[in-house]
Structure 1
Amino acid sequence: MAEGSFGGAYGVGNVSFRVVHDNGEDTQDITPIVTGVTWAGDVKKPRRSLEVNLSNTRDMRTRTIFIRIGGEVRFYVGDEERFRGVVFSDDIDVAGSHSFTAFDTNIYLTKNADSRKFKKRRASDIVKRLCDDFAIPYGVIEDTGYVIPKLYFTKETSLWDMIKTAITETEKEMGVRYSVRNVNGELVLRQRKSELTERVVEVEKNLTSASNNRSIEEMRNQVKIINDEGFQLKVVKNDALIDQYGLMQHVEKKSDNSTGNTQTADQLLADLGTIEDEADVTALGHPDMVAGTAVYVREPMTRITGGYFVTADKHSFDPNGKHTVDLTIAATPELPTLEYEAPNEGGTA
């Protein structure tokens, strides 16, 4: 195994990594010929990826091993499995320089599309139904509680867009955030708060570079709820933000008989009435720093100080086990949402 430098709160210590591939005949530990690993994720995407680089020849004429497209690959940091997925592509040249890319099984949410009608179903019910119908393995699916009156997808829509829409509708009504991840080859749906694992990133300790961007372009400080005919049902506003930045209104359509207009408006105002505060940080790696978790950052020049939500991560391991991570972080959770617009009646149940 390769040994390197990360671990603990500040990313200092030792690491070992291991890559195991199933070629259809047996399971191979291919770590000895690995020259680099990139392991990455993004909250806007349901899957994580693994790219592995190999020196796949002993004599410059034949391969040391064969990588099977569709084969299973597992990635371990220390003794803990961090990724399990399917090889989707590989590339090798005459010198034996070889790379392959794998995705966890949540990738099939984006590789399948359908038209569907859901009536009086929870988002968690929709996730289970789609996974069952398309043979996508799943584990823990937390009950999302809110019964969505109807979601009609009459045009070809990816399974991931259906799930994002159901989760978005639930979050607007309940004020509870959810994340879709993959654990040991199974899709899991959990409340966002249960995914937070705080790590410290600090200048002169484990932070190597950082940049910060702040904007009010996406801010909305007044929310108006209207019905299908355009009549006003509810208006909420943040006077302090209006005084400071000017009026910026968001309009949300709901039916007259929908419950929870006030709660929906309040939740939207809380979500939209914020300054977009996003930063990029490079640090010594820790495998817990992944999209959907939280980190605490201290960097005085960019004023990136406080708790931040990781929206994207890219971990790099070299043959000696040196581990670095590039993080995109936000002061408020940047969630993969998709607004629902009711289509004309139709679609497949």
Structure 2
Amino acid sequence: MASGQDLVKIAQAENGTKENGTNNVKYNTWFYGHEVDGSNYPWCAVFVSWCADKAGITTDIMPKTASAGYFAHYANQGHGEVFTNKNPEAGDLFLINYNGSDWANHVGIVASCDGSNITTIEGNSSDMVRSRTLSMSGLTFVHFNLDSSSGMTAAWTAREVPNIGRDLATKAYMAYQLYTDKSSGGYSYLWGSNSTTANGGLRKYKEFYCVAMGSYYGPDGTFIKVEFDDGKTIYCVKADEKKDSETDSKHMYHDYPFDRNVLEFIIDRTVVRNNDEFTSALNAAGINRSARIKAIWTSDSEPTYGGAGSTTAENEKEYHFIDTNEKISIHPTIFKQTPMQCDRHNGGLTVLCNDIDISSYVGDISWQNTKDTLATLFNFSVPKAGDMKYINMYKPQEGDIIRYSGGTQEDFRGVIIEVDDGDNYVNKYVAGDVGQYLNKTSDTYQFTAMRADDCIKKICGDLCIPIVMIPELPLLITQIYVDKAVSDVIADILTLCGGVHNFDFVPDGIRIYNCADMVVNPQFRISSNTELKDSIKYIGNVEHKTSIEDRKTSVKVISDTDVLTTLKDENSIAQFGFLQEVIKVGENEDAKKVAKNKLSELNNTSETYSGEIIEELNSYTRAGSVIAIGDEKYLINSSQHSIKQGVHYNKLDLERL
């Protein structure tokens, strides 16, 4: 496996590489599968991922991501360590403005450390790859287990480890000459197209060391996982069985002319003929001379990369969630409706309930959606018939399918999920689109080195959801989602891909898109015989506020009995005054880290921007889209639509990009 130094060497070779345009750089092209340009494609995390890939570090060890903070999040899931209170090593990552969870402003690679400062190699720093010297103060560091293949997954079976009666652990790991008997069962592992001679002359089949072991550990071709007491784990394949000289009753070890041993590395003698084979085998495999075997597992099937590795050992979980999802439609008829005949009533407005036209008596139409909640909720009312028994009005019910058009196309399709019949004159209804079903449906998914777009396609395929649009998402996903809402699974996958993505539903299916690509320009007419006007130019009821009401310029961290630390931002205090937050922590929490993260979170001026526009009945400006106000672009976080006297109003909550 690659070392931290390997990662540093790869990164340093890129020193001086510059952008062409805005974030148009070869590392982003590698990550996204095509050239990208624009402010939505920061690449500091992508650069780290690119270097890891070139160093041969697999995504189960270090994730491939465009999110700086996700490195820390992944390390905290058992793949490494996040720390602030000790010196980092070469190949560790540093984070700037880490929030303590899954976000950071910047990430780079540590090249060296002198105890007070680090030398870095980092991407997207002044629009280029460069090296800097930074003080360790205020930085967070991430260490990954680069020398471990802990992500090899198989149906591992725990085996007994013998006591061979020797003090030195190294006596148990010896080299053996190249096995050349082509009639042997180990032939394919030594001479096949996937076999190599690795450093030190060790023979390997793919990523597995070819070894000789006793019959207790299975026949030739059995895969072996060996864990040492210093945390080192190696993966092997049995290519020779040592029967003749076995002396223990279970055939777990054997006597070599020099000493007893459990495992022998098979070597290419032509490479190590003039060397001490026993020593070179240990060094080549990266085994500490004082380490001892802690545990041994075997598998009849070849392990694969992904997850944290599954075994049957105590305290380890074995996951079997791959391809276990039942293929069943999220709704039996929602995507099988006949084409809607639009533009017939109320100046273009049409509402169908189970294909029954209720346009002439429906009222109080409104709908809303937000970027965070996925689903669109559609509200309307229908008058109660009362004593008007000769009036033919359909009474909608729970489960009915509602379809709405503001003019030339179907704008909403959903299912009635709530009925309020308490009013004396009208029944009130709420319908939700298929996004509501994904919010309320949970499942379990396991992905192993699968492209992000393929993960989403699989989820949608399992639920028979048509995909209207989806961008190329080449990031390889290795994740297990247990009992998660389907919408949360898709949202997490998109978060891992970096950038600002969103997904929502239109009548024909799901859309997955980069928000920066969804720039809209809503328009309206004052009357039918006037020209279209830009809705944004006439935005009304504008509220644009900045506030320091919730800002904090100091954070004090306490325990039950003591003040542990206080962190202040002197510049903010000079400008805004002394505003302090007191936080109580447990005895095992890092008080300085808590203070740093909390101050970073609270020492900000909040901004809110909202306004109301008028747009055409057949226009639908929704959350996840981007609008331009002057020279600034804003992401629509939520939209609240209403139809009043034939006019389409839309209240927007915005976020500056």
Alpha-carbon distance in 1 for matches of 2:547, 2:535: 23
1:1-349 to structure 2, matched below 5 A, reads 1-3=345-347, 16-22=348-354, 27-57=355-385, 59=387, 64-93=393-422, 95-148=424-477, 150-154=478-482, 156-171=483-498, 176-199=499-522, 200-201=534-535, 206-214=538-546, 277-286=607-616, 287-297=619-629, 306-318=632-644, 320-332=645-657
One-letter amino acid of the structure 2 residue matched with residue 101 of structure 1: V
One-letter amino acid of the structure 2 residue matched with residue 309 of structure 1: L
Q: Secondary structure at the match of 1:279?
A: strand
Q: C-alpha offsets along residues 308-330 of structure 1, whole Å, 9 cap, x if unaligned?
A: 22110011002x31221111011
Alpha-carbon distance in 2 for matches of 1:279, 1:42: 15
Alpha-carbon distance in 2 for matches of 1:100, 1:94: 12
> Does structure 2 retain, via aligned residues, the 8 Å contact 1:196–1:292?
no
Alpha-carbon distance in 1 for matches of 2:420, 2:392: 12
Alpha-carbon distance in 2 for matches of 1:283, 1:109: 30
Question: Relative contact order (C-alpha < 8 Å, sep 6+): which is higher?
Answer: 1
> Which residue is equivalent to 1:258?
none
The offset of 1:48, in angstroms, is 1.1
The offset of 1:184, in angstroms, is 1.6
The offset of 1:188, in angstroms, is 1.7
One-letter amino acid of the structure 2 residue matched with residue 279 of structure 1: Y
Moved more, 160-169 or 116-125: 116-125
One-letter amino acid of the structure 1 residue matched with residue 646 of structure 2: G
The offset of 1:32, in angstroms, is 0.7
TM-score after normalising by structure 1: 0.64
> Which residue is equivalent to 2:156?
none
Q: C-alpha offsets along residues 55-107 of structure 1, whole Å, 9 cap, x if unaligned?
A: 24263568821213222111101122111111112222474401211111122
> Does structure 1 retain, via aligned residues, the 8 Å contact 2:378–2:432?
yes
The offset of 1:197, in angstroms, is 1.0
> Does structure 2 retain, via aligned residues, the 8 Å contact 1:105–1:137?
no
Change (3 A) 1:60 1:208: farther
Q: Secondary structure at the match of 1:126?
A: helix
Alpha-carbon distance in 1 for matches of 2:509, 2:646: 27
Q: C-alpha offsets along residues 148-167 of structure 1, whole Å, 9 cap, x if unaligned?
A: 2x11224x211111111111
Q: C-alpha offsets along residues 211-248 of structure 1, whole Å, 9 cap, x if unaligned?
A: 11336989xxxxxxxxxxxxxxxxxxxxxx9xx99xxx
> Does structure 2 retain, via aligned residues, the 8 Å contact 1:201–1:296?
no
The offset of 1:284, in angstroms, is 2.0
Change (3 A) 1:283 1:192: closer
The offset of 1:43, in angstroms, is 0.6
Q: C-alpha offsets along residues 112-138 of structure 1, whole Å, 9 cap, x if unaligned?
A: 112322111222222222222234443
> Which residue is equivalent to 1:254?
none
Alpha-carbon distance in 1 for matches of 2:365, 2:494: 32
Alpha-carbon distance in 1 for matches of 2:408, 2:441: 34
Alpha-carbon distance in 2 for matches of 1:158, 1:215: 35
Alpha-carbon distance in 2 for matches of 1:282, 1:126: 38
| Greater Rg over alpha carbons, structure | 2
One-letter amino acid of the structure 2 residue matched with residue 184 of structure 1: P
One-letter amino acid of the structure 1 residue matched with residue 415 of structure 2: V
Alpha-carbon distance in 2 for matches of 1:72, 1:321: 23
> Which residue is equivalent to 2:15?
none
The offset of 1:143, in angstroms, is 2.6
> Does structure 2 retain, via aligned residues, the 8 Å contact 1:108–1:136?
no
Gaps of 5+ in 1: 4-15, 219-240, 246-273, 299-304, 333-349
- Count how many residue pairs are aligned between Structure 1 and Structure 2: 253
Alpha-carbon distance in 2 for matches of 1:276, 1:181: 27
Seq. identity, %: 20
One-letter amino acid of the structure 2 residue matched with residue 308 of structure 1: Y
One-letter amino acid of the structure 2 residue matched with residue 327 of structure 1: L
Alpha-carbon distance in 2 for matches of 1:123, 1:85: 27
Alpha-carbon distance in 1 for matches of 2:547, 2:622: 24
Change (3 A) 1:133 1:43: same
> Does structure 1 retain, via aligned residues, the 8 Å contact 2:543–2:610?
yes
Alpha-carbon distance in 1 for matches of 2:628, 2:472: 30
Alpha-carbon distance in 1 for matches of 2:358, 2:635: 34
Q: Secondary structure at the match of 1:83?
A: strand
> Does structure 2 retain, via aligned residues, the 8 Å contact 1:278–1:331?
no
The offset of 1:178, in angstroms, is 2.1
Structure 1 or 2: larger strand share?
1
> Does structure 2 retain, via aligned residues, the 8 Å contact 1:46–1:181?
yes
- Superposed CA RMSD: 3.2
Q: Secondary structure at the match of 1:118?
A: strand
Q: Secondary structure at the match of 1:168?
A: helix
Change (3 A) 1:131 1:33: same
> Which residue is equivalent to 1:266?
none
Alpha-carbon distance in 1 for matches of 2:516, 2:656: 15
> Does structure 2 retain, via aligned residues, the 8 Å contact 1:36–1:53?
yes
One-letter amino acid of the structure 2 residue matched with residue 134 of structure 1: L
> Which residue is equivalent to 1:344?
none
Alpha-carbon distance in 1 for matches of 2:352, 2:538: 29
> Which residue is equivalent to 2:126?
none
TM-score after normalising by structure 2: 0.35
